Chain A
């Protein structure tokens, strides 16, 4: 009955010290979120506004996209429409080729991860350089993000330092001080910014009214990526739109407080057009999102602003790590997005949830990822993915609970189970529920019989 997630989690849990550290790292982020929330009396008002604004925008998306793209086009930005990942990748490659670009600096974008753009461009001879420090570390280690906001948070400083030594980025052997390593990366990335032919950014928010592409970073790497090269390409999923600046203010206040527990990111950049002598392209991507809108049970997943708060608070994510999930976005929201993307392939992630609903309580846009997971679980039978052993057990329990005389008889004889030795029931390969659990002790008298005695 073990799912891929639980098997991967077991591997992650072999290094208990690192698992504990991982757990504490993200719990600290959750605590920072709480401190931020407590400082704003209007916190819950902001959350319900965020949810309502997104609900409105997503159900009027075509109109807002028209307005947004027309605003940008009026200022010379070239807008492209991509139905899926391959159209997106081809569009980006075409833009780069028509400008003879051989190297692109790139600011973090989960959409390009979703579309697997880097390997595609690299196959076609483009050197893609990640400029967010965490992403750069992962790129050089040939790893994928384990979290959407702090992508390299699973690594220890020594792992980063040793790789920097190998790559020639740091010169002082054995110096694993984070400040020193960050300086080395700064120096190395400076060179990449200077001679790259293009800069790519994602888009945290698109403002329909004004035609602003808004990008939030702490490092300023989106700004370096767009201030030096003469070509700026924006990758944007359709769900990133908000109607106007009043709405943007709500999301600006929530995003970083929820993600990293800071009051804001260091840089919130608004791009409306190319800088003098440069060119700006915007690629608007669907890749399954319009199908999500048609899903009556799950369309609200599109309200997600990718802050990562649900991962930080999730007891399963914190103790199983980002790589235990099969979808590239981990945690509660990733479980949901994976189900949209390919339910057959990613349905085993549905087990990675204790239904504690902590994520529902912190989500700034009230997506309710935990409650959504509960709903997805109800569709496992239709997918042909329901667990056979659990099905048999459910049938048995249903027979037992629907038959009071049988149930009472079972209760009467239950204390006999106390006499079965633990070693009989803890055979892990026969009884997976026995792993890590001891047998419950059945009371000699059931509550029902005590109650009946009391009535006399």
Chain B
């Protein structure tokens, strides 16, 4: 069906119209937004490592994943053997032990972290066995209303709110971490 016919039928069948409501919603606020974010991250199965502004991130990643052999990242200053900007195909990132990416907004109410695509192959965010997200404390907001006001999309046209590791409860409602994407998520929270 062509678009015009499709929309014409819709218009013909719409006999009444309603206005948008006033969108000033009183979203929840927390006394300590950072503490709430950390607590929710742990509830969602993620880990949080606190870091000072000048801490050595590579040392923190090595301490969190001492057995990691293949690290993939395009974040400047991160020691990585694979770079999602320069691999030929998304599939080349399979076998990555730790992927390291930047997060831009953290949400206290549900531990979501906005990870916009800033690399050629976004598969690094999902195919890695473990994911490290670097986030600044000052970027944590109370709730999703504030988060959707704060996020920005890059030219790649993809972004994802990630909250903890990939999980499933599809087998008899037993919660299992690590379904198809990262089995563990560590947030490095920078002061």
* Interface residues, chain A, with chain B CB atoms under 8 Å away: 25, 28, 39-42, 45-46, 48-49, 52-53, 55-56, 59-62, 65-66, 69, 75, 79, 81-83, 87, 131-134, 137, 150-153, 155-157, 160, 178-179, 181-183, 185-186, 189-190, 193-194, 210, 212, 218-221, 223-224, 227-228, 238, 243, 245-250, 252-253, 260, 262-276, 284, 286, 290-291, 293-294, 296
Q: List the interface of chain B (C-beta within 8 A of A).
A: 1-3, 5-7, 9-11, 13-21, 23, 25-28, 40, 43-44, 90-91, 94, 109-112, 117, 120-123, 125-127, 143-145, 147-149, 151, 153, 156-174, 176, 178-182
A-B contact pairs, 29 of them (CB 8 A): A41-B28, A53-B20, A60-B14, A60-B17, A65-B7, A66-B7, A81-B2, A81-B6, A133-B179, A150-B169, A150-B173, A181-B171, A190-B94, A218-B166, A219-B168, A220-B126, A221-B180, A223-B125, A227-B126, A227-B127, A238-B10, A246-B145, A246-B149, A247-B23, A263-B111, A272-B158, A286-B9, A286-B10, A296-B15
Partner of B25, one of A49, A82, A218, A275: A49
**Inter-chain contacts of A53 with B (CB < 8 A):** 20-21
Cβ contacts under 8 Å, A151 to chain B: 170
Partner of A59, one of B18, B44, B145, B162: B18
Evaluate contact between B14 and A62: CB separation under 8 angstroms: yes
Q: Which residues of B contact A253 (CB under 8 A)?
A: 109-110, 143-144
Contact of B13 among A134, A186, A218, A293 (CB under 8 A): A293
Q: How far is the CA of A265 from the CA of B25 in the complex (A)?
A: 22
Q: How far is the CA of A260 from the CA of B169 in the complex (A)?
A: 10
CB of A349, distance to nearest CB on chain B (Å): 25
Q: Are A271 and B157 also in contact (CB < 8 A) when A218-B166, A220-B166, A290-B9 are? A: yes
Task: Assess the B180–A275 pair: CB atoms within 8 A.
Answer: no
With A133-B170, A270-B159 already in contact, the answer to whether A263 and B110 are too (CB < 8 A) is yes
- Distance, CA A247 to CA B23, complexed state (A): 8
The reply to whether A133 and B10 form a contact with Cβ atoms under 8 Å apart is no
Report the 5 A-B pairs with minimum CB-CB distance, sorted nearest first. Answer: A220-B181, A272-B157, A273-B157, A219-B179, A134-B170
Complex Cα distance A52/B25, Å?
13
* Nearest Cβ on chain A to B24's Cβ, whole angstroms: 10
Given A252-B144, A263-B110, 9 further pairs, Cβ under 8 A: A41-B26, A53-B21, A62-B10, A133-B170, A219-B179, A220-B179, A249-B145, A266-B166, A268-B160
- Contact status of A245 and B180, CB under 8 A, knowing A41-B28, A157-B172, A270-B160: no
Q: How many A-B residue pairs have CB under 8 A?
A: 247
CB proximity of A14 to chain B, nearest CB, Å: 21
| B15 CB → nearest A CB, Å | 7
A131 to B166, CA, bound (A): 13
Q: Are A25 and B23 in contact (CB under 8 A)?
A: no
A218 contact from B6, B151, B168, Cβ within 8 A: B168
A62-B14, A218-B179, A220-B182 known; A276+B156 contact, CB < 8 A: yes
Measured CB to CB, the closest approach of chain B to A437, in angstroms, equals: 34
- CB distance A227 to B25 under 8 Å? no
Q: Is the CB of B23 within 8 A of A293?
A: no
* CA distance in complex: A190, B144 (Å): 32
CA distance A309 to B39 in the complex (A): 26
A152 to B172: give the CA distance in the assembly, Å. Answer: 8
Q: In the complex, what residues of A have CB within 8 A of residue B110's CB? A: 253, 263-264
Min Cβ gap B18→A in Å is 5
Report chain B residues within 8 Å CB of A59.
Answer: 14, 16-18
Closest to B21 in A: A52
Bound Cα distance from A210 to B180, whole angstroms: 28
| Cβ-defined contact, A221 with B25, below 8 A | no
Most chain B Cβ neighbours within 10 Å, of A179, A266, A296: A266
In Å, the complex CA distance between A179 and B177 comes to 8
Minimal beta-carbon separation of A146 from chain B (angstroms): 12
Pick from A238, A246, A267: contact of B162, CB below 8 A. A267
What chain B residues lie within 8 Å of A270 (beta carbons)? 153, 158-160
CB contacts (< 8 Å) of B16 on chain A: these are 59
Residue of B nearest to A65 (CB): B7
**A132 engages B170 (CB within 8 Å):** yes
Give A452 to B126 CA distance when docked, in angstroms. Answer: 78
Identity of the chain B residue whose Cβ is nearest the Cβ of A190 in the assembled complex: B94
Does the CB pair B163–A249 fall under 8 Å?
A: no
Shortest CB distance B97–A (Å): 14
User: Given A223-B181, A227-B121, A253-B144, are A152 and B170 also a contact pair (CB < 8 Å)?
Assistant: yes
**Smallest beta-carbon distance A84→chain B, Å:** 8
In the bound assembly, the distance between CA atoms of A66 and B28 in angstroms comes to 34
A219 to chain B: closest residue by CB: B179
Given contacts A228-B90, A263-B40, A270-B153, contact A49 B23 (CB under 8 A): yes
Give A28 to B169 CA distance when docked, in angstroms.
13
Determine if B148 and A245 form an interchain contact, defined as CB atoms under 8 angstroms apart.
yes
Bound: A269/B122 CA distance, A: 11
Q: Give the residues in chain A near B153, CB-CB below 8 Å.
A: 210, 212, 270, 272
Q: Which residues of B contact A48 (CB under 8 A)?
A: 21
**Docked-complex contact B28 and A250, CB < 8 angstroms:** no
Q: Which B residues are CB-close (under 8 A) to A42? A: 25-28
B173 touches A267 (CB 8 A): no
Q: State the CA gap A384–B127 with chains docked (Å).
A: 56
Report the minimum CB–CB distance from B100 to chain A (whole Å): 17
- In the complex the two chains form, is A275's CB within 8 Å of B158's CB? yes
Nearest opposing residue in chain A for B3, CB measure = A81
Most buried by B among A52, A190, A263: A263
Q: B156 touching A223 by the CB < 8 A rule?
A: no
Within the complex, the shortest CB–CB distance from A61 to chain B, in Å, comes to 6
